[in-house]
C-alpha cells in the first residue's frame, strides 16, 4: 500500500501500551531489541508514530502508558507524554487501566491503541487502519485472519467507545474486546467495527520467549524496508547522515551536569587538527586612518569613530527568562513541600508566538498557569512570574493535566522587563572604544547593524580554517531584517550569530552561515547534514538554542538520531548550563567534527563560546586557551566579591562581564550596577563598559577561585 495518502482523523492521539510485568516473557517486552533497527520495541514503535505526528496524523500527540516503575527504564522524547498505569488506583483491569488513564487526560480525543508486543507493526499497517476507520464508527479493530476475532490492542477508539469501556469496567467487564462488541451490538465483522489486515503478521504478538524467537527469525528473513513502506528507514550512512523529511527523535536521557573543569578536560581529549584544509576566504582588509562604516561583525578589532546609541531597547518586550510556567505569584504564597499548590495548565506559549488575545486569556481563567518557553511573551500582566520547569512536578489526579508547585515565588521573578537592560537611545559604545566580539553582541541586541570605525593596533590572526553556524528558533529574526519598526511581540533579533562571526574572525576562522531552521526538526536535521558534508570540511559546527528542556528543544534528540556521539550535555555554569558538545565521526575519512550546541540566551551563548568554543579551537590548533587567575588585593574589592559570590552553590561556575580598573589593568566590580539592572550573569546590559569575562569557581571548601580573560 502506498503511504502518500495521509488520513485525517479529528483530534487523534496515539497510545503505546507497555503492558504489565511480562511474567510470561521473563523480561520487559518493551525493552526487547527489534532485529531490524536495534531499538527497544517501545522506541521502534515511537519512531513510526513520531514520524506520523510530524505529518499531522496525531494532532493530540503521542503517549505511552506504563507503570510508575517502568518510567525510569525508558528514554522518551520530550514531546512524548507518559501516563502512569496504577493498578492500586484503578484495580486489576488489565490494559483497560492504562487506556482509561489516557482517556482521562484527553477525554475528547480519539485514540489509536498500539500494544508494545506487536513487533510486525509498520507505518503501512497504521495508515491502513486509520484509512479504514469510518468517520461515524465508534471503534475500529483489525481482525485476526486465522479466526476472525478482533485485535483490541491495535485499534481506533472514539470517546463514545471509551465511555462504554469505562462503564463495562464498573460492572466488572474490563476487556476492551468485550466493550467493542457491546457497542456494536454483538459480533465484530468487516464493515461493522472490523478491518481486514493486508498482512497477517500485523496482528501477531510475541508474549513468550518462543514467540519472540519466531518473530526474530521472521523479521530477519524478510526485507527490512519494502518499497511502499517507510516505517523502518534504512540505517543512515556514518557520514554524512541523510535524514528523511521526518526524523525520529530519540535522545539519550539527559545526564547530570558536569563541572566546568570536567568539560574542559573532555575538550582536551579532542584530536588536534593534522591535515591542512586550505586558506579561508578573504576577510575584511585593514583600513587606513580614514573613518569607514562597516557591518558590526566585520568591525572587530577596530575603534568606534563616534559614540553609538541603541536603536531598540533590550529586552524588546516583557518575556520569560526560562522554560517553565507563568503563574500569578499570589497563588503560590502558601506553597511548601508539605503543602504544595496544584494548578491546571491553561495554555502554552512558545517563543515566537504572538501574545494570546486578552479575551482568550480571560476565558481560560485566572486560577491556573501557562506553560511558557524562554523568550516567550506573557499571557497577561496578571501572570507576573515564572517557575522554572525543573522546580515543578506533574499530576493528573484531578483528571486533567496539572502542575505541582512546592515553593512560593516572588512577583516578577524570572520575568524580563522591556528595556530593563538597555533603553533605546542609550549610548552602548563610547568613541574610541574597541569593538570586541562581545560589543558586537551588545550592538546587535540593541538593533545596531553597522558602525563607523577607525583602525586599531590589534594584531590580526593567522588564517586557520572554517566554522559553521546554524541558528534555530522560530522567534529569531536576522539583524538585517530589522526595519524602522520594532519586531513584533514574541520576536527577537539574532544577536548571537553576529557575535559568533566576530569572534571567529578575530581568531582567524571563516564563519560559514547555514540556513536558520526555526523550530523544525526535519529542517534542522537536513541543515546539519549539509554542514557536516560541507566542502572544504568544517573544523567545528556551532548551533544556537534548542538544548534546554522546553517543548521545542529538539536539538539533542535530533543530533542523537543522526548518529552523533554526545560528549557532554549540561555543565554546572551560570549562564549556559544546557550547553552540549557532540562529535560527528566520519568512518570513511576518519575525520571527526565537534558540534558545540550553545544555549539561546545571548549571554549564555557568549559565555559558552568564549570558554568552551575557544577551548575547542585552541585544542584543534594544538594550543591551550588560558584564563588568568585573578588575585584581588584591595579590601573593598574583596568584600564586594565575597558579597557577590557568598550564595553560590558548591561546584557552580559563574561568569560576569566586568570593566577594567585603569590602575591595575584587571577586572573590577567597582562600577557594576545593582538593583536588578545590568548586574546578573545573564544581563546583556552588563556588556556596556565591560572589557573582560570573569569566571568564579565555587569549591567544596567555600573557596571562590576567580579567572579572567579580555574580550
Quickly list DSSP for 665-697: SSB-STT---TTSS-STT-GGGGTT--EEEEEE
Q: pLDDT at position 273, please?
A: 79
Structure-block grid coordinates of residue 123:
507505518
Which of the four pLDDT bands, split at 50, 70 and 90, describes residue 641? confident
Pinpoint the residues of the chain covered by CATH 3.90.105.10.
Answer: 293-312+422-458
What is the β-pairing status of strands 110-115 and 150-157? Answer: antiparallel
CATH of 293-312+422-458, one of 3.40.470.10, 3.40.720.10, 3.90.105.10, 3.40.50.300: 3.90.105.10
Assess whether pLDDT exceeds 80 at residue 456: no
Length of the chain: 711
Which is higher by pLDDT, 328 or 223?
A: 328
Cα 394 from chain centre: 19
Q: pLDDT at position 655, please?
A: 93
What is the pTM for the complete model shown?
A: 0.60
Assess whether pLDDT exceeds 60 at residue 163: yes
Query: What number is the average pLDDT over the span 325-341?
Result: 94
Using alpha carbons, select from 399, 355, 400, 395 the residue that is nearest to residue 377. Answer: 355
Assess whether pLDDT exceeds 90 at residue 648: no
Assess whether pLDDT exceeds 60 at residue 260: yes
Helices first, then strands: H and E counts in the chain? 16, 34
Indicate the angle between helix axes 176-183 and 95-105, nearest 10 degrees.
60
Which is higher by pLDDT, 601 or 707?
A: 707
Using alpha carbons, select from 372, 254, 383 the residue that is nearest to residue 321. Answer: 372
Pinpoint the residues of the chain covered by CATH 2.170.190.11.
Answer: 319-416
DSSP 8-state secondary structure symbol assigned to residue 612: I
Pinpoint the residues of the chain covered by CATH 3.90.550.10.
Answer: 12-221
Q: What is the dihedral of CA 638, 649, 672, 445, to 10 degrees?
A: 150
Q: pLDDT at position 255, please?
A: 56
Q: pLDDT at position 224, please?
A: 36
Which of the four pLDDT bands, split at 50, 70 and 90, describes residue 322? confident
Query: What is the percentage of the chain residues whose pLDDT exceeds 90?
Result: 42
Which is higher by pLDDT, 286 or 297?
A: 297
pLDDT tens-digit readout, 682-696:
688 889 989 999 999
Looking at domain 12-221, which CATH architecture does it have?
Alpha-Beta Complex (3.90)
112 neighbors 158 (Cβ within 8 angstroms): no
Note if the bond before 575 is cis, omega within 30 degrees.
yes
Structure-block grid coordinates of residue 624:
591551550
Assess whether pLDDT exceeds 80 at residue 253: no
Of 69-78, 225-234, 298-307, the range with the lowest mean pLDDT is 225-234
Assess whether pLDDT exceeds 50 at residue 251: no
Q: pLDDT at position 521, please?
A: 74
Burial status of residue 349 (CB atoms within 10 A of its CB: 0-12, 13-18, 19 or more): buried
Assess whether pLDDT exceeds 90 at residue 437: yes
Cell 522524547, residue located:
77
Using alpha carbons, select from 381, 392, 340, 21 the residue that is nearest to residue 207. Answer: 21
Mean pLDDT, all residues of the chain: 83
Q: What are the E-state strand segments in 137-250?
A: 139-143, 150-157, 189-190, 193-196
CATH of region 260-286+460-620 = 3.40.980.10
Assess whether pLDDT exceeds 50 at residue 662: yes
Query: What number is the average pLDDT over the span 95-108?
Result: 90
Which of the four pLDDT bands, split at 50, 70 and 90, describes residue 283? very low
Task: Give the three-class secondary structure for 360.
Answer: helix
Assess whether pLDDT exceeds 60 at residue 58: yes
Assess whether pLDDT exceeds 60 at residue 550: no
Of 147-151, 386-390, 401-405, 559-563, the range with the lowest mean pLDDT is 559-563
The span from the CA of 652 to the CA of 639, in Å, is 20
The span from the CA of 649 to the CA of 572, in Å, is 10
CATH of region 319-416 = 2.170.190.11
Q: pLDDT at position 22, please?
A: 61
Amino acid at each position: 500500500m502506498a503511504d502518500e495518502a495521509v488520513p485525517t482523523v479529528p483530534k487523534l492521539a496515539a497510545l503505546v501500551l507497555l503492558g504489565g510485568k511480562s511474567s510470561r516473557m521473563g523480561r520487559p517486552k518493551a525493552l526487547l531489541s527489534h532485529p531490524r533497527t536495534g531499538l527497544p520495541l517501545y522506541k521502534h514503535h515511537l519512531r513510526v508514530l513520531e514520524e506520523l505526528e510530524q505529518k499531522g496524523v496525531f494532532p493530540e500527540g503521542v503517549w505511552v502508558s506504563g507503570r510508575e516503575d517502568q518510567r525510569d527504564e525508558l528514554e522518551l522524547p520530550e514531546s512524548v507524554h507518559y501516563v502512569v498505569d496504577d493498578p492500586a488506583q484503578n484495580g486489576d483491569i488489565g490494559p483497560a487501566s492504562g487506556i482509561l488513564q489516557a482517556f482521562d487526560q484527553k477525554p475528547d480525543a480519539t485514540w489509536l491503541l498500539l500494544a508494545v508486543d506487536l513487533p510486525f507493526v509498520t507505518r503501512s499497517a497504521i495508515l491502513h487502519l486509520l484509512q479504514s476507520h469510518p468517520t461515524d464508527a465508534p471503534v475500529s479493530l483489525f481482525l485476526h485472519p486465522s479466526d476472525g476475532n478482533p485485535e483490541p490492542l491495535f485499534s481506533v477508539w472514539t470517546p463514545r467507545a471509551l465511555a462504554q469501556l469505562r462503564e463495562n469496567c464498573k460492572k466488572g467487564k474490563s476487556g476492551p474486546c468485550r466493550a467493542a462488541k457491546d457497542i456494536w451490538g454483538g459480533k465484530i465483522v468487516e464493515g461493522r467495527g472490523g478491518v481486514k489486515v493486508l498482512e497477517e503478521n500485523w496482528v501477531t504478538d510475541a508474549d513468550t520467549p518462543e514467540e519472540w524467537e519466531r518473530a526474530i527469525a521472521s523479521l530477519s528473513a524478510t526485507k527490512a524496508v519494502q518499497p511502499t513502506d517507510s516505517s523502518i528507514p534504512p540505517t543512515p550512512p556514518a557520514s554524512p547522515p541523510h535524514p528523511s523529511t521526518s526524523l525520529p527523535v530519540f535522545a539519550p536521557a539527559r545526564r547530570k551536569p558536569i563541572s566546568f573543569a570536567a568539560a574542559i578536560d573532555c575538550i582536551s581529549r579532542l584530536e588536534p587538527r593534522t591535515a591542512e584544509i586550505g586558506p579561508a576566504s578573504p576577510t575584511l582588509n585593514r583600513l587606513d586612518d580614514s573613518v569607514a562604516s562597516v557591518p558590526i561583525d566585520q568591525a572587530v578589532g577596530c575603534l568606534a569613530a563616534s559614540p553609538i546609541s541603541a536603536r531598540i531597547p533590550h529586552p524588546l518586550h516583557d518575556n520569560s527568562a526560562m522554560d517553565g510556567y507563568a503563574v500569578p505569584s499570589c497563588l503560590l504564597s502558601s506553597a511548601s513541600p508539605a503543602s504544595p499548590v496544584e494548578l491546571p495548565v491553561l495554555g502554552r506559549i512558545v517563543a515566537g508566538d504572538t501574545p494570546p488575545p486578552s479575551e482568550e486569556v480571560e476565558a481560560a481563567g485566572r486560577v491556573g498557569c501557562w506553560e511558557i518557553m524562554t523568550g516567550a511573551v506573557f499571557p497577561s500582566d496578571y501572570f507576573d512570574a515564572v517557575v522554572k520547569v525543573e522546580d515543578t512536578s506533574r499530576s493528573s489526579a484531578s483528571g486533567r493535566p496539572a502542575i505541582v508547585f512546592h515553593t512560593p515565588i516572588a512577583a516578577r521573578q524570572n520575568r524580563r522587563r522591556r528595556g530593563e537592560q538597555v533603553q533605546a537611545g542609550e549610548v552602548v559604545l563610547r568613541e574610541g572604544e574597541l569593538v570586541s566580539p562581545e560589543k558586537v553582541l551588545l550592538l546587535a541586541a540593541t538593533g545596531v547593524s553597522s558602525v563607523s570605525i577607525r583602525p586599531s593596533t590589534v594584531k590580526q590572526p593567522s588564517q586557520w580554517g572554517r566554522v559553521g553556524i546554524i541558528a534555530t528558533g522560530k522567534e529569531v529574526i536576522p539583524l538585517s531584517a530589522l526595519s524602522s519598526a520594532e519586531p513584533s511581540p514574541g520576536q527577537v533579533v539574532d544577536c548571537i550569530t553576529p557575535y559568533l562571526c566576530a569572534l571567529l574572525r578575530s581568531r582567524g576562522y571563516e564563519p560559514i552561515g547555514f540556513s536558520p531552521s526555526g523550530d523544525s526538526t526535519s529542517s534542522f536535521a537536513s541543515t546539519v547534514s549539509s554542514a557536516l558534508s560541507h566542502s572544504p570540511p568544517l573544523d567545528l559546527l556551532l548551533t544556537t538554542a534548542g538544548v534546554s528542556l522546553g517543548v521545542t528543544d529538539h536539538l539533542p534528540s535530533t543530533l542523537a538520531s543522526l548518529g552523533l556521539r554526545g560528549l557532554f550535555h549540561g555543565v554546572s555554569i551560570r549562564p549556559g548550563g544546557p550547553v552540549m558538545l557532540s562529535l560527528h565521526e566520519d568512518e570513511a575519512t576518519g575525520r571527526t567534527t565537534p558540534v558545540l550546541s550553545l544555549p539561546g540566551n545571548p549571554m549564555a551563548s557568549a559565555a559558552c563560546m568564549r570558554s568552551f568554543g575557544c577551548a575547542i579551537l585552541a585544542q584543534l590548533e594544538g594550543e591551550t586557551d588560558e584564563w588568568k587567575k585573578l588575585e584581588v588585593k584591595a579590601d573593598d574589592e574583596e568584600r564586594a566579591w565575597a558579597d557577590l559570590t557568598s550564595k553560590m552553590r558548591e561546584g557552580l561556575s559563574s561568569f560576569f562581564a566586568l570593566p577594567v580598573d585603569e590602575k591595575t589593568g584587571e577586572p573590577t566590580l567597582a562600577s557594576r550596577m545593582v538593583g536588578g539592572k545590568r548586574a546578573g550573569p545573564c544581563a546583556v546590559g552588563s556588556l556596556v563598559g565591560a572589557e573582560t569575562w570573569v569566571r568564579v569557581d565555587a569549591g567544596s571548601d567555600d573557596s571562590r577561585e576567580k579567572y579572567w580573560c579580555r574580550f
